[in-house]
Amino acid sequence: METLSIYAPRLVTKRQSFTPGHRACSGCGEALAVKLVMKALGKDVIVVMATGCMEVISTQLPYTAWEVPWIHTLFENAATVATGIESARKALIRKGTPLSKAKIVAIGGDGATFDIGLGAISGAFERGHDFLYICTDNEAYMNTGIQRSSATPFGASTTTQPAGKVSFGQGTWKKNMPAIAVAHDIPYVATACPSYPFDLMNKIKKAVAIEGPTYIHILAVCPTGWRIPADVTIRLGRLAVETGVFPLYEVENGKYTLNYEPPQLRPVIDYLKPQGRFRHLTPELIDKIQQRVSQEYARLKEKVTQ
């Protein structure tokens, strides 16, 4: 095990087309996710990015962190722009124009994916375009100041639903975005987290090798919005998986596989306690979250055994 931890970094390419020197906060799990995604994708790729933290920190004129063709889109239409590129290329190739077969990848935050861009994503999946959509989910609208989204977990304090005398924070359960992607009957859906870098990179490579629409949902720990120290990002991502809050799984042509199954799930309090956004939660609310997580995990496992 020790030998593996010494040599593991050598198994990852040093070449990266999302370069250092960008302006992400220290400990940003979303920037780490994008870095791993780009290491897995290499250079032969066109990236379409919805506005959000990742765009803002990587493209402050006159600088850019991108060494591949990269296109800014509005908050709501990354999937549409990606599918437009794919269709235009198809048309040009039909006319005999020699064009590269670079992979087309759209990246959006949870606000761009769960909320404002959902219709565009649904249309792109339904029309069957050949592209990968990646959601980097930090569970709120972080770029504009930690406002709640439909990805914000129950009980989390945000600037639009702050915990206090009259509210315990977010009062709704997180929308199940991977399940919505699966419902489109697309060939590949997966969840990933940068705390499991090889799993994440393998899933990216697998997704772009598949023809048709594919979706990867990445949990991106956000020290600023989750109110945690910058050096616990990786550990917190692991706790999300080990408690069952964010299971790592794949759905290939409707078939579910659980990629990491701890012999026993840790209690969710291990994940909630280090985070300032959950600091106010009462034992009753923590129990309620535990029940929900156990229930959802059991539902997922039922699908895996099918």
Ligand X SMILES: Cc1ncc(C[n+]2csc(CCOP(=O)(O)OP(=O)(O)O)c2C)c(N)n1
CB nearer to ligand X: give 52 or 247.
52
Which positions touch ligand X (CB under 6 A)? 30, 51-54, 75-76, 108-112, 138, 141-144, 149
Which positions touch Mg ion (CB under 5 A)? 109-110, 138, 142
Which residue, judged by CB position, is nearest to ligand X in the bound state? Answer: 109
CB nearer to ligand X: give 112 or 239.
112
Q: Are residues 187 and 214 in contact, defined by beta-carbon separation less than 8 angstroms?
A: yes
Q: Look at the alpha carbons of 287, 299, 253, 174 in this order and tell me if their dihedral is positive or negative.
A: negative
Q: State the nearest-atom distance from the C-beta of 217 to ligand X, in Å.
A: 13
Q: State the nearest-atom distance from the C-beta of 252 to ligand X, in Å.
A: 27
* Residue 146 contacts which entry, Mg ion, ligand X, none (Cβ below 5-8 A, type-dependent): none
CB nearer to ligand X: give 121 or 251.
121
* Residue 17 contacts which entry, ligand X, Mg ion, none (Cβ below 5-8 A, type-dependent): none
CA dist 264 and 244 (Å) reads 10
CB nearer to Mg ion: give 111 or 265.
111
CB nearer to Mg ion: give 86 or 110.
110
Q: State the nearest-atom distance from the C-beta of 179 to ligand X, in Å.
A: 19
HSE, CB side, 13 Å, CA atoms: give it for residue 267: 7
Q: State the nearest-atom distance from the C-beta of 160 to ligand X, in Å.
A: 11
* Residue 189 contacts which entry, Mg ion, ligand X, none (Cβ below 5-8 A, type-dependent): none
* Residue 199 contacts which entry, Mg ion, ligand X, none (Cβ below 5-8 A, type-dependent): none
